[in-house]
Amino acid sequence: MSLLNQPATEMLVWRNRFAALGDAFFTRLSPTALPAPYWISRNTSLMTELGWPEPGLSSPDALLAFSGCAIPEGAAPLASVYSGHQFGQWAGRLGDGRALSLGDVESAQGHQEIQLKGAGPTPYSRRGDGRAVLRSSIREYLCSEAMHGLGIASTRALCLTGSAQPVRREEVETAAVLTRVAPSFVRFGHFEHFAANQYLSELKTLADHVISLHLSECTARAALGEHQGNVYAVLLQVVTERTAQMLAQWQAVGFCHGVMNTDNMSILGLTLDYGPFQFLDGFNPRHICNHSDNQGRYAYHRQPNVAYWNLYCLGQALASLINDQELTLAVLESYKTHFPQALDRAMALKLGLPIASETISEINSTRELTDSLLAILAREQVDYTIFWRRLSQAVAAPIDAADASGVAWNSVRDLFLDRSAWELWQQRYLQQLALHDQVKAGRSMLAHNPKYVLRNHLAEIAICQAKLGDFSEVQTLLTLLQSPFDEHPEHEAYAQLPPAWANSIEISCSS
């Protein structure tokens, strides 16, 4: 394994603060090189956001570094150890089986850890090969950026490299390495690991690390007396709030994660580990996007409760640090307030109604309006994204055309077979909307209801072309999904209903 010392990666300032925690937290090891790596996609806008220097991703040494073929000077690659609950069962030790952290570097957005996913086997690979296939890497690459574009906290994706190296899954595919970036990749499962093994001093070290480097608001809030100044209770509180917020945004945009195991839950409330995820096409609350999820544990409508269950596991892991069972339970209980509040807020934004309602009756009427709408959408499995975008367009239409019989409203009505149910709802909605500035509401709705989401079939088309060596569709989707609220009239086709074959796409955990 060669060391790189050339402009692009040399100019990164490495800090490697996770590596400073000590051997109990990780195993140091080098990535396993792939033969003849090539670029699939580079996310130059993330590069710019991070303020990283040119030539950045365009140099040959960047290709070597981000395909795991060479280690940038100053990096200290490692695979971290974690455990977790998978599909409701304790799974014991898991760990980074195919992710390798190079270390963390300074950026214009604060410190960022750089991780290579698919860079070869680690001591935590169990029976896996440590590789990621092109197909799933493209999905994670695009979806990370799509989520960010939607305003939903997520790990980011810097670039994607590939190689002809064969990788065996249900069939033989080829390997790819995804370079992902986040302030931290610490998961609930990291805490569960140290708690389950009674490594209590390491558990405290990890909690202190997360608090001091990533969630400093915990210290500030504890200093103000929150939860009797118990900083670990405040840590659980902050994670609960961030998770509630993330879940509300997932539900509002119709995102199904697919594998909400506790090892896939970020301590920073970032959407993490994109596998069999899906954005809903037709609105079916019971939709299961993971073909391997036979019981539907992670069905769309169950996600908020699963998040609570996962937080409970985190609470158990932190219990010895919080050292107050009643307090721990009280913090967890707050999810039952934070999640509905965050969801009410997200749905009010989608509806163009005020978010900070003055009265309980106003909150209830918005909630009732939302629930009755979702019931109609579910009954007819109306396309979720298209519905909200058309509704936004109808509300945003010039006032003289914005009456209930205008063209824009007709295009919403056309989505329903049961016109009378729709018209009844529409009447009630317009009554509420009339209490506010409709033009302003319409403008805001267009900024909260995306025109473009990464539907399965769009990813599938990009994957099929990439398998033939054409990566242009990956790049097109990347650009489009980074600004999903803009019209992009030249890409209208990407906002249409999915083709019939989209229903037959089966995505499982295998990646």
User: What residues are annotated to the active site?
Assistant: 263
Q: Kindly state the smallest distance separating residue 445's Cβ from Mg ion, in Å.
A: 35
* Site track for Mg ion across 265-294, x = CB under 5 A: --------x---------------------
By CB under 6 A, tell whether 234 contacts ligand AMP: no
By CB under 6 A, tell whether 259 contacts ligand AMP: yes
Residues 124, 95: contact at Cβ < 8 Å?
yes
By CB under 5 A, tell whether 115 contacts Mg ion: no
Segment interacting with ligand AMP (CB under 6 A) among 15-23, 54-62, 94-102, 137-145: 94-102
In sequence order, what DSSP letters do the residues of 335-383 get, joined into one string? HHHHHHHHHHHHHHHHHT--SS-SSHHHHHHHHHHHHHHHHHHHHHT-B
In angstroms, rounded to a whole number, what is the distance separating the alpha carbons of residues 159 and 36?
16
Residues 463, 472: contact at Cβ < 8 Å?
no
Q: Kindly state the smallest distance separating residue 21's Cβ from ligand AMP, in Å.
A: 19
* Token digits of residue 132: 């990621």
Q: Which does 211 bind (CB under 5 to 8 A by kind): Mg ion, ligand AMP, none?
A: none
One residue of 64, 94, 157, 178 binding ligand AMP per CB under 6 A: 94
Rg (CA), the chain: 23
* Site track for ligand AMP across 121-150, x = CB under 6 A: ---xx--xxxx-------------------
**Which 8-state DSSP code applies to residue 175?**
E
One residue of 31, 69, 96, 302 binding ligand AMP per CB under 6 A: 96
Angle between helices 325-333 and 231-253 (to 10 degrees): 20
One residue of 43, 83, 264, 271 binding ligand AMP per CB under 6 A: 264
Q: Kindly state the smallest distance separating residue 95's Cβ from ligand AMP, in Å.
A: 5
By CB under 6 A, tell whether 29 contacts ligand AMP: no
The neighbouring-strand residues paired with 83 are 93
Give the residue among 466, 468, 461 at the shortest CA–CA distance from 494.
Answer: 461
Segment interacting with ligand AMP (CB under 6 A) among 91-99, 100-108, 287-295, 307-315: 91-99
Residue where the block lists tokens 């690991």: 193
Closer to ligand AMP by CB, 267 or 386: give it: 267
List Cβ neighbours of 379 (8 Å cut-off, separation of 6 or more).
Answer: 418, 421
The neighbouring-strand residues paired with 85 are 90
Angle between helices 335-351 and 325-333 (to 10 degrees): 10
By CB under 5 A, tell whether 264 contacts Mg ion: yes
Residues 478, 148: contact at Cβ < 8 Å?
no
Q: Kindly state the smallest distance separating residue 263's Cβ from Mg ion, in Å.
A: 5
By CB under 6 A, tell whether 192 contacts ligand AMP: no
* Interacting residues with ligand AMP (CB under 6 A): 94-98, 124-125, 128-131, 259, 264, 273, 275, 509
* Interacting residues with Mg ion (CB under 5 A): 264, 273
